[in-house]
Structure 1
């Protein structure tokens, strides 16, 4: 007998008073692991599947080891999943295979209490609200997890039918919160999630600071490779003469100065996972042909080796440059561009998706309030000031401003005047470097202009790599000039 006399005291409140589904569970003897006539299914659980049909609420049942015992027909209607493909399978397996974004049953088993969360059924695109309830045995151990499943409703209380777009706050494990209030960003997030299920190369394009790496991480986290490495390689940060050695590795003694034991390379470090090649436009032409071979044949040649090595890695690339223009100018291989651009994703600048500005500002504001343990509020007038700004530095500029406001502003309220003052100071810093001066001669004038130009670029861009690209010089050249003018 599954539910012995007196066992009801261990049940959640919502399942007491003789609920019909408890009677159904009682009759199925679902904890018998070798029921005669049962058919073995995926995983280590054998038994009869449970199907309850007399309710409009969906039910999902798992045992204390997270194996699926059954669902009812309402669950199948709500989610689009069939009980036969779920029965006997462990929830960890279903999450890993991207049936669900997360499992409330696993949360209940971990926390030992009822848990309610919104759940994304990734297999069908449906979104539902689920509540997992633990059922305890007489020793207080979790015997079952009974999960109720109901339609997800929007802010107006209306039922959301069919696949839904991304919410404006998308919580992603290993990534954090992704803000997607605008329709444009919802499409970006949903396109990234759809792209995750294949191994096709993805090319993410957009201005500096729009969040290309975040989108690349979404692709990785939603892919079957999520438990393998996510390797970020900024092509602009690697000197051209060292690019092939850093990316593809080398054999011992391959060149003067090489490590005695050799070097496996960054591609090899991403084995089984995702290789994110940021600023792909900066890859030297000499290395682009090797990168093309890696994508086409899944093999690479370490420096000093005549034998190819097989590699299993998914390529996601990103650029803030117009690659089509670079192809026309002969600075980027056309065949490599087409190989990378199998699944293109374009992230619009923040100025073109103004619906995201306030949700992003609120998210960053609360983030830094928690980080610095400060209590402040953002006034409606301040929000309007934020909304009217153009944000040439995109999300990164907005994030930096919100941190600055939290840390430096006096008082509890962040006013429109405070926001305007910080933005004006930012603009003033970027323009003062071009103020007229009276140099002694032309050589001195050129040096002063070069110094001001570099100083301006370092203030506008967050890294030396970005500044060097904007100035049209190599990063090592910029480093030398920084040392000359500012050290």
Structure 2
């Protein structure tokens, strides 16, 4: 039943209590101690919390004067001065306790008829404060974890692998990310140049600003200039009224990623050079220059140095772009990353297609023997196709029988034995991490690994985890 409110009094809103709920029951249920004295200082009411904190039975204090029970009580000061005390802390010598209290005069017809005091042992308050600090600390901790996970998502953690070649590139990228230096990422198609560019941006001080990606090879040269720099109103027949904002302006304050920059024509190269030199753009058909604050990350699968020698790429533009070069090695030069990548893509597609699969070590060995001309993109597509076609719980070499890598000569026995051991370590760690993060709950761990119950327990036994 809702509480009814009556007319206002000098003391605030007068409330009519819901039927069946005595006011004394409410006060007696409070965890804070409550004591009421009359105008003479005689104790006329105490609640259970008072007797607990004071370690005195109610019949030992009721009817007694506060001066005899607690001579240094703040209640007596309010009784003498008529002035309220709000959440004061003090040490009671008689009780040997630190107390925190509020004491307020009880007024009736302009006369003080007593004092009501509410207090608690500061030890209880400190425990409460400690709980608050712990909760607050945990909140900050998990907020920090969430922030770090958000940074990791799409960041350097997206570059999967532990090979020395990849680790070195990531280390250099982390350092340049903190600057505004122009970066040139080189590497074959499919090595993840766009992923590295995104990672650099996410680790930079421009992470909260725009990230505009432009594939220079996908846009006809006749349109690329207006795409990058925009065009003025009436610049050409059919031009949008009012003109168009180009990608550089859209990226203001942020980062622009120029993919396949080696495919630019000579005229576009000269226009891009001006932007890098002067930090200015001029719209197609326009007469006014606009300054831009944009960080440039460029990428190409071409050998720009060789193109410079052949006269196919401007030397001055090359040096403007090549301030901080990063080369992503092809997958065939870091084959130790293939098992990690394969298991990562397997988990990704099992989640997408609601499958529960594991990959046999022999299948991973087969994948690791391939040259992968399409690099990570080709490996990813291969795993996806195998997941779709697999009709069992385990991906076997036969599921990759149509691949070029399937026709490669088998590795030497010594290498094969070592590889099996490495794969076993990776898989064992996967299962151990799943069990650990699930608190030993095998049902939860099984879901995290993404396999059927039969396969899960079979692999636990084979990995000596059961």
Q: 2:170 aligns with which of 178, 189, 192?
A: 189
Name the structure 1 match of 2:387.
406
Report how far residue 229 of structure 1 moved: 0.6
RMSD over equivalenced CA pairs, Å: 3.2
- Pair 1:424 & 2:392 matched: no
Q: 1:261 aligns with which of 242, 261, 264?
A: 242
Contact 1:172 1:178 in 2 (8 A): no
Report how far residue 120 of structure 1 moved: 12
Relative distance call for 1:328 and 1:426 in structure 2 (3 A) is: same
Structure 2: state its 5+ residue gaps. Answer: 1-120, 408-466
Report how far residue 349 of structure 1 moved: 0.4
TM-score by length of structure 2 reads 0.56
Q: After TM superposition, list the pairs within 5 Å mapping 1:462-473 onto structure 2.
A: none
Relative distance call for 1:184 and 1:174 in structure 2 (3 A) is: closer
Whole-angstrom distance in 1 between the partners of 2:399 and 2:261: 39
- Pair 1:178 & 2:178 matched: no
Q: 2:295 aligns with which of 283, 303, 314?
A: 314
Report how far residue 4 of structure 1 moved: 3.9
Report how far residue 117 of structure 1 moved: 8.7
Q: After TM superposition, list the pairs within 5 Å mapping 1:54-453 onto structure 2.
A: 112=139, 115=142, 171-172=152-153, 177-419=158-400, 422-424=401-403
Report how far residue 367 of structure 1 moved: 0.9
Report how far residue 282 of structure 1 moved: 1.2
Report how far residue 245 of structure 1 moved: 0.9
Contact 1:180 1:189 in 2 (8 A): no
Name the structure 2 match of 1:6.
124
Relative distance call for 1:6 and 1:373 in structure 2 (3 A) is: farther
Contact 2:369 2:405 in 1 (8 A): no
Alignment length (residue pairs): 286
Whole-angstrom distance in 1 between the partners of 2:378 and 2:402: 10
TM-score by length of structure 1 reads 0.54
Per residue, is there more helix in 1 or in 2?
A: 2
Whole-angstrom distance in 2 between the partners of 1:349 and 1:214: 14
Relative distance call for 1:109 and 1:207 in structure 2 (3 A) is: farther
Report how far residue 172 of structure 1 moved: 3.7
Whole-angstrom distance in 1 between the partners of 2:262 and 2:224: 13
Name the structure 2 match of 1:23.
none
Q: Deviations over 1:305-333 (max 9, x none)?
A: 22210000000000001111211222211
Whole-angstrom distance in 2 between the partners of 1:12 and 1:406: 51
Relative distance call for 1:386 and 1:184 in structure 2 (3 A) is: same
Structure 1: state its 5+ residue gaps. Answer: 17-107, 122-169, 429-487
